[in-house]
Amino acid sequence: MHIIFTAALVLVSIIASAQERITISGFVKEEGSQEQLPGVNVYLAGTPYGAVTNTYGFYSLTVPVSDSATISFSFVGYEKTDHKLSLQKNASLSIFLKTINQLEEVVVSARRQEDYVSRNVQMSQIEIPIAQLKKVPAFFGEKDVLRILQLMPGVQKGTEGQTGLYVRGGGPDQNLIILDDAVVYNANHLFGFFSIFNSDALKSVELTKGGFPARYGGRLSSVLEMNMKEGSKDKLHGEGGIGLISSRLTLEGPISKGKSSFLISGRRTYIDVLASPLIAQSQKGDDSQVKPGYYFYDLNAKMNYDLGPKDKLYVSGYFGRDKFHAREKSSDSETRAGLDWGNATATMRWNHLLNQKLFVNTSFIFSKFNFGVSSYSKEFGDGATDDEFSLEYSSKIRDFGLKTDFDFYPSPKHAVRFGAQATLHKFVPSALAIEGSFIDNPIERSVTPVNTLETGIYIEDTWQALDALKINGGMRLSTFQTESKTYMRPEPRISAALRLARDFSFKASYARMNQYVHLLSNTGLGLPTDLWVPTTDRVAPQQSQQVAAGFAKDLERPALTLTLEGYYKKMNHILNYKEGSSFLSINGENASELSWEDNVTSGKGWSYGAEFLVQKKTGRLSGWVGYTLSWTRWQFPELNFGETFFPRYDRRHDLSIVGIYEISKRITVSSTWVYGTGNALTLPVSTYKGVSDNLMTRINPNGKPVIGWNGPTVSEFGQKNSFRAEPFHRMDFSIQFHKNKKRHERTWEFGVYNVYNRRNPFFYDLSDETIGNGTSTSKRTLKRYSLFPVLPYFSYNFKF
């Protein structure tokens, strides 16, 4: 009886305790445009109670009952807002934040005020304010999200001018790139020199390199999540720009004021339009006329509609394409060649607020990537003997997906997320057709489309275990189903942050990741010829395990954030082409039967290192310094005699310095300087003449016959990637002149890429050079080829 009575008292105490708390929830939006703001800090002043808005600007804060209290809202680039209210019952409270004047040295920058970096349990994460991104010097003036991320620690650059991301020893395919919940498979324009993301259309950019929450899956190395602007619900706004190689225009405004809005953003190059008359003029009078051309375009579109206080609907899409074409025609021949690729994504999302503590989002997702190569040649004869040759190659991947995510806030110490996702993949890895009047057996190699189903369910909890200890623990169960086999893999995740002082914390994390789609590449340049293929019964999923630990410190004056992290990552079943293989590999009579699986080998890899970042996001002087010290090794049974080797983009040292200074309201200057260890390359260690098949006899300078040593030159290669290219370093500079006109704001930007004309290596070549005059003696010479010298640029930008 006593036990029952005690249990009843405990139960009553729990109920009474629950009744002594109330929940405040709502949305945080930008004043004017009514854009919902993710990542805003919401907290009860003077207490440990706090929350952060989710991707859609929603927050839920459970606090003790009080006669009077102050709820504070803070976010980088916005004025802090305090709201006093009586906490006697559950209430809805939506807030509009005003942007701040960046010219003022504002110490109350949201994340500075509440020591956001040191208090947040998430580590290995980078957020780039879009306003800051637009002030950094850019290649040809094109503001590029991926290029800015390359300036961050832990993110390695590829080759000069390329936008590929190599995160903590991983390849470009190991990055999950998400745009409004849709996966983007190829993020490159112009053969990798620009990314497909138009910064004018983006609202937020967030890169996670480790300590992955359980809601993310499908890639080994990083998650790059980007969200497009929703469009202003207040009035029509626009911005755009005219640069050396492209122009862009973005329009946004209300469909129904205060209730629905739209955004449309387009960009196109005009290299083909500008170059066409110059090429025609240069070939005037020539028998052979060459007409090359290249262009790319992007189109982003989004619409949102408030169905009521608890429901919102979003529809968004991206459509982009690159097209290269060339035609040469003369009196006796004609040649045509083409290369085109493009992405398309579409997402429909429905937000529903079930109650003050439970928020749900459901997304219907479509994504597609196509790539094609064509070539045709014809030599004119007497009409009956014309020689013709044609080649057609294509590959594609298409996804249909359904995703549901719940945000549940049961108590002040717990924030729970759970959900599920299913994606139906359709792969067409390669289709090849070769015909010709001189080919006895035309080749037709087509691959039957491969349909697979990838699913994932997850749950994670951010738990305030102690006042000084916050933990995010979760589990993801991923599956991948092919026609003949089903893979099921558990993926545990955990992160923890221990506050050692008010503004100083120690963090640690562990994450296991699985990847079921793979990118085959032997160029390293992020070209569209890189081939997406699925996991099969012969090719296992890639898997990684990563541990990381480090410190985070927030300084008040000046408002700086410092992070120092170390990591170790083990990767299994990573894929690479076998020596001599490529996406167009053909094997004589059996070409029609050749599978991409016959061209690949599976191996493992290790990556470990340390990263340091000091960053200032607000004030007249902003920017960051990032440094990475890292090692990456791969091992494949069929490469390098089974021994370990450094992959091409292993980089021992990587340093980036970025500075932005607003001299006045009208003038902003910025500069970047980068340094990196050279790429690891494979070069011949010796060459010699092979034996001729026909054993022809020649006479040496002494008059004696030499038999058989006039065959082809043979190169002997040593260890794979044992040669180090020269270090890479470069400085860029830009100056912007702003002026407010009567109806719009205009900005002229002038800049210089590669200020001191550093000739960074793009590739190396070994060639023979003759020694002396009239002799047959030659020597092998290693030549370095560079791509970009000093390049000045300018652009005109406007906003209204």
Tokens, residue 377: 């040649």
Are 749 and 735 in contact by the 8 Å Cβ rule? The answer is yes
Strand partners, 336: 327, 376
Segment 535-547 shows an average pLDDT of 93
Q: Per-residue pLDDT for 431 more than 80? A: no
Per the listing, tokens 């609202």 go with 203
Q: What is the pLDDT of residues 695-729, one digit of tens each?
A: 555 555 555 555 555 566 677 777 888 888 889 99
Instruction: Find all residues with CB under 8 Å of 756, minimum gap 6, and list them.
Output: 731, 790
Helix, strand, or coil (residue 610): strand
Average pLDDT over residues 474-488: 93
Contacts of residue 302, Cβ cutoff 8 Å, sequence gap at least 6: 180, 201, 228, 229, 230, 231, 262, 263, 264, 314, 315, 316, 317
According to DSSP, residue 726 is labeled P
- Between the alpha carbon of residue 547 and those of residues 468, 489, 514, 566, the distances in Å are 22, 19, 15, 9
Residue the block writes with tokens 């030599």: 379
| DSSP three-state, residue 125 | strand
Question: DSSP string of 626-689?
Answer: EEEEEEEEEE-TTSGGG--B--TT--SEEEEEEEEEE-SSSEEEEEEEEEEPPPEE--EEEEEE
**Residue 456, pLDDT above cutoff 50:** yes
- Cα gap 401→228, rounded to integer Å: 19
Tens digits of residue pLDDT in 634-654: 999 988 888 899 988 899 999
- Angle CA 577–515–148, to nearest 5: 85
Give 447's contacts (C-beta < 8 A, 6+ positions apart): 428, 429, 430, 431, 595, 596
Q: What is the mean pLDDT of residues 583-605?
A: 65
- Coil, strand or helix at 264: strand
- Buried residues in 542-565 as b, exposed as e (16+ CB within 10 A): bbbbbbbbbbbbbeeeebbbbbbb
Residue 105 in this model has a pLDDT that exceeds 50: no
Residue 115 pLDDT > 60: no
DSSP, collapsed to helix, strand or coil, labels residue 538 as coil
> Which range in 506-520, 578-592, 698-712 is most confidently predicted, on average pLDDT?
506-520
3-state class of 123 per DSSP?
coil
Which residues, 6+ apart, have CB-to-CB distance to 645 below 8 Å?
633, 634, 635, 639, 680, 719, 720, 721, 722
Q: What is the mean pLDDT of residues 408-415?
A: 90
With 60 as the cut, is the pLDDT of residue 37 above it? yes
Q: What does the alpha-carbon distance between residue 425 and residue 178 come to, in Å, rounded to a whole number?
A: 16
Rounding to the nearest 10 degrees, give the CA dihedral for residues 85, 91, 92, 98: 10
Residue 109: per-residue pLDDT: 34
DSSP 221: S
Say how many C-beta atoms besides its own lie within 10 A of residue 633's C-beta: 16
In the block, which residue shows the tokens 């927030």?
554
Q: Distance between CA 659 and CA 131 in Å, rounded?
A: 14
The DSSP call for residue 150 is T
- Shortest CA distance to 553 belongs to which of 606, 620, 618, 507? 507
35-39, 263-267, 690-694 — most confident range? 263-267
Kindly state the tokens that stand for 612: 């340091």
Residues 6+ apart with CB under 8 A from 652: 629, 630, 631, 677
Residue 252: band (very low, low, confident or very high) from pLDDT cuts 50, 70, 90? very high
Q: pLDDT exceeding 70 applies to what percent of the chain?
A: 83
Phi–psi pair at 558, nearest 5 degrees? -75, 165
What are the structure tokens assigned to 637, written together?
A: 């049974």
Beta strands (DSSP E) in 380-413 are 387-411
CA distance 511 to 170: 15
Residue 287, pLDDT above cutoff 90: no
If you search the block for the tokens 């190569």, which residue do you land on? 373
Most confident of 97-106, 244-253, 575-584: 244-253
* Residue pair 80/110 in contact by the 8 Å Cβ criterion: yes
Pick the residue with more confidence: 391 or 651? 651
Higher pLDDT, 189 or 112: 189
Strands 778-786 and 387-411: unpaired
- Judged by DSSP in three states, 111 sits in helix
Q: Using an 8 Å Cβ cutoff, are 116 and 110 in contact? A: yes
pLDDT beyond 60 at 528: no
Three-state DSSP class for 462? Answer: strand
Can you tell me whether residue 207 is helix, strand or coil?
strand
- Between residues 465 and 377, the one the model is more confident about: 465
pLDDT at 640: 86
411 bridge partner residues: 414
**C-alpha gyration radius of the chain:** 30
**Computed from CA positions of residues 581, 584, 588, 591, in that sequence, does the dihedral angle turn out positive or negative?**
positive
pLDDT in tens, 3-28: 444 444 344 344 444 448 888 889 99
Closest CA to 453 of 490, 418, 471, 427: 427
Segment 493-515 mean pLDDT: 94
Q: What is the mean pLDDT of residues 360-367?
A: 96
Residues 326-361, buried b or exposed e (16+ Cβ, 10 A)?
eeeeeeeeebbbbbbbbbbbbbbbebebeebbbbeb
Whole-number Cα distances in Å, 567 to 53, 545, 547, 634: 29, 11, 6, 17
Q: CA angle at residue 106 from 100 to 107, to 5 degrees?
A: 135
Task: Give CA–CA dist 436/47, Å, rounded.
Answer: 78
